[in-house]
């Protein structure tokens, strides 16, 4: 049996399960406050996924009123020092893929790619700014720290909510579902940086109850099934490198786009490599 066929077979059940209903239920459970039962769920999760609570600003699992509060826990101030680099990793997790955008095609996995236009919700003018540019797809596993930070300083210009599917975003699904990251629900955040525009796309997934940004709060739910867009006066929302920009309530993926001839990835940034928020990601070309 070929690996590509086995991957497609492995994700087949995801086409059949009621992903929206399952996600809504998971969001309700994660936001509920059940006292000792909530602490029990958190303790099970910590043990099951080997979560390093010594890095948390508050390591006492009994102090978290809901699973969401635990899941989006802040780290203590010294846990993630920022590297002296033009671009730093915005998250803890693993590199799914990174490298050059081939024209307008972003590489997903062997045999799969998708267009920048599809990723950003159909905006051709926005997508054109990243023709032959650079991209990074970063996967956050359940054990990871789930706040998202700025890879470099930026001024927010737009945010677009794009409705979509809620497939899992783990490596097996990335190999088995065509156009996964341009197909799932996502929040597209457009910034202007010192060296030009860049985009950070927060990708939803099965049981990702919601995604939030620091300037808006929770973006979803609601899930109206239509594109929603917000525009911001340039400079009204400016975030420094390493500053928090958003978070996932349950884990997912971040996709970043950079224009051509602006940044280059560190040579050690290769697929499947673990990463930590704040580590050096790349330099200016």
Q: Give the pLDDT confidence of 177-212 residue by residue, as tens digits.
A: 888 899 999 999 999 999 999 999 999 877 665 889
Read off the pLDDT of each residue in 107-122 and give the average, rounded to a whole number.
Answer: 93
The answer to whether the bond into 50 is cis (omega within 30° of 0) is: no
Q: Secondary structure of 196-224 in the HEC alphabet?
A: EEEEEEEECCCCCCEEEECCCEEEECCCC
| pLDDT category of residue 165 using cuts at 50, 70 and 90 | confident
61: its two tokens: 């699992």
pLDDT tens, 210-224? 889 999 999 987 788
**29 vs 121 pLDDT, higher one:** 121
Question: Distance between CA 3 and CA 7 in Å, rounded?
Answer: 6
SS3 3: helix
The whole-number pLDDT of residue 19 equals: 55
Q: Which residues are catalytic, by number?
A: 92, 149, 252
| pLDDT category of residue 27 using cuts at 50, 70 and 90 | low
The whole-number pLDDT of residue 36 equals: 94
Question: Residue 41, Cβ neighbours under 10 Å: how many?
Answer: 18
| pLDDT category of residue 116 using cuts at 50, 70 and 90 | very high
Read off the pLDDT of each residue in 20-40 and give the average, rounded to a whole number.
Answer: 76
């Amino acid at each position: 049996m070929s690996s590509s066929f086995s991957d497609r077979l492995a994700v087949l059940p995801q086409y059949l399960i009621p992903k929206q209903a399952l996600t809504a239920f998971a969001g309700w459970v994660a936001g509920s406050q059940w006292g000792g039962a909530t602490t029990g769920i958190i303790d099970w999760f910590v043990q099951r996924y080997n979560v390093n609570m010594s890095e948390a600003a508050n390591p006492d699992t009994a102090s978290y009123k809901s699973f969401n509060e635990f899941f989006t826990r802040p780290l203590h101030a010294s846990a993630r020092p920022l590297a002296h680099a033009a671009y730093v990793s915005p998250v803890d997790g693993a590199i799914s893929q990174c490298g050059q955008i081939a024209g307008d095609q972003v590489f997903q996995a062997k045999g799969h790619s998708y267009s920048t236009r599809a990723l950003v919700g159909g905006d051709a003018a926005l997508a054109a700014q990243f023709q032959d540019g650079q991209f990074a797809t970063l996967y956050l596993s359940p054990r990871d720290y789930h706040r998202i930070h700025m890879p470099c300083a930026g001024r927010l210009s737009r945010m677009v909510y794009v409705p979509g599917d809620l497939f899992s975003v783990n490596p097996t699904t990335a190999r088995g579902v065509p156009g996964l990251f341009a197909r799932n629900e996502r929040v597209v955040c457009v910034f202007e940086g010192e060296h030009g525009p860049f985009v950070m796309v927060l990708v939803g997934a099965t049981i990702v109850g919601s995604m939030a940004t620091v300037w808006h709060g929770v973006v979803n739910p609601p899930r109206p099934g239509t594109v929603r867009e917000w525009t911001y006066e340039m400079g009204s929302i400016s975030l420094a490198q390493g500053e928090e920009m958003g978070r996932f309530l349950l884990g997912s993926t971040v996709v970043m786009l950079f224009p051509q001839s602006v940044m280059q990835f560190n040579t050690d940034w290769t697929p499947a490599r673990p990463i930590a928020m704040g580590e050096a990601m790349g330099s200016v070309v």
